[in-house]
Amino acid sequence: MVTIFRLVVLLMVLAAAGACQSTKSGSETALEPGSPELEQLYQEGRATYLSEDYQSAASIFARVVENDPMHIKALINWGAALSRGGKPKEAIAKFEQALARDPNHAWAMYNLGVSLQRLGEHEAAVVQYKQAVERDSTILTPKLQNYLDRKEPKQQDSGIDIQRPAPPSMPAPK
């Protein structure tokens, strides 16, 4: 009988501890925009991205954006993690959201170009890259310049023969 009583008390203590834990984690997910805790979470996402764990990084950046929808850097990095993680179509939506918030954000344009390039949409990628470089010239790396040089649409011939006519033949000597 005492054993059953102890077991019931133990279960109640464990249940109470679980309730406290779930309450604690519930309060941790609601972070104030601009708070040091949210910035720490953002930095954790960057470190995770740099360690090439793109799926985890995407989840972390998603949490930052959930807590601060105006955190454009987190939104762009969320897209970059998705793109690097093999989900460029999903990433495009994040870059478009960032550009809706700031239409001149060069890094959103650049990363949109990266995702478009990964999908084989080279003409659209070139447009995004050029717009990004117009706004921030530091984006233009030798590798990007090489890509732009190779993918630049070639000027097409107008169809008009602009060659000079051949000189008339000289009459044969008599």
Q: Which domains does the chain have, with CATH numbers?
A: 35-151 (1.25.40.10)
151 vs 19: CA distance, rounded Å: 58
Summarize the confidence of residues 143-148 as an average pLDDT: 94
Provide the Cα torsion 145, 150, 153, 158; round to 10°.
120
Q: Could you give the percent of the chain with pLDDT greater than 90?
A: 66
Quote the CA–CA distance of 154 and 110 in Å, as a whole number: 22
Question: Would you place residue 1 in the very low, low, confident or very high pLDDT band (cuts 50, 70, 90)?
Answer: low
Whether 163 shows a pLDDT value over 60: the answer reads no
Is residue 72 predicted with pLDDT exceeding 50?
A: yes
CA distance linking residue 127 with residue 116, whole number of Å: 10
